[in-house]
Amino acid sequence: MPAAPEPTDTVVVGRIGRPHGVRGLVTVEVRTDDPDLRFAPGAVLTTEPAARGPLTVVDKRWHSGTLLLQVAGPDGVPSADREAADALRNTILLVPVAELPELEDPDSYYDHQLVGLTAQLPDGSALGQVTAVRHDGSELLVVRRPEGGELLVPFVTAIVPTVDLAAGRLVVDPPEGLLEL
């Protein structure tokens, strides 16, 4: 049996929510920009906690804007009732980074590529470290400040003109007042 991927070798694509109905369907909080690909029937997803998976997508459908899945556990048996579906609640769904397609736009990045980068001001002084990317209507970088606290930085070219993955840094050119928020 192949070794399970290390946590750093995977990215989160969803989180199982509450059961839907009585036939074993689960709701999914989608955290990927291509849910039709990631959650296609037959897709195998690793899980956190690992003991709940891997899970195989048996069936997928949308209901009022919510993704519904029926999944089979490691034993290959699909969840068949509400109790089985509820036992999967809050399970994080992961895919290996190696399965992610190359991004066509050179100015586009996966969240996992940005997390961990050092944020610097244009003069090279340290601003902090990117700890997360939020998608609240627009993309926001969460930067942990060296002196404590967090800063939310809109991830737009005018404010983040340089992303250098090889060097492990990005440049933040903040508009007046951003650093005081």
Helix, strand, coil content of the chain in percent (nearest 5): 15, 40, 45
Measured CA to CA, the distance from residue 172 to residue 149 in angstroms comes to 17
pTM over cut 0.75: no
In the numeric block, the tokens 């369907």 are attached to: 25
Beta carbons within 10 angstroms of residue 52's beta carbon: 19
Residues 119 and 161 in one domain: yes
CA angle 107, 180, 162 (to 5 degrees): 20
- pLDDT tens string, the chain, 181 residues long: the values are 334 434 458 888 899 999 998 889 999 998 887 888 889 999 999 999 999 999 999 999 999 989 999 999 888 888 888 999 999 999 999 988 877 777 777 788 888 889 899 999 999 999 999 998 887 778 899 999 998 899 999 999 999 999 999 999 999 999 988 887 6
Residues 27 and 50 in one domain: yes
Residues 91 and 120 in one domain: no
Domain span at residue 31 reads 7-99
Residues 126 and 49 in one domain: no
Q: Is 39 among the domain residues? A: yes
**Tally of domains within the chain:** 2
Q: Is 181 among the domain residues? A: no
Residues 126 and 55 in one domain: no
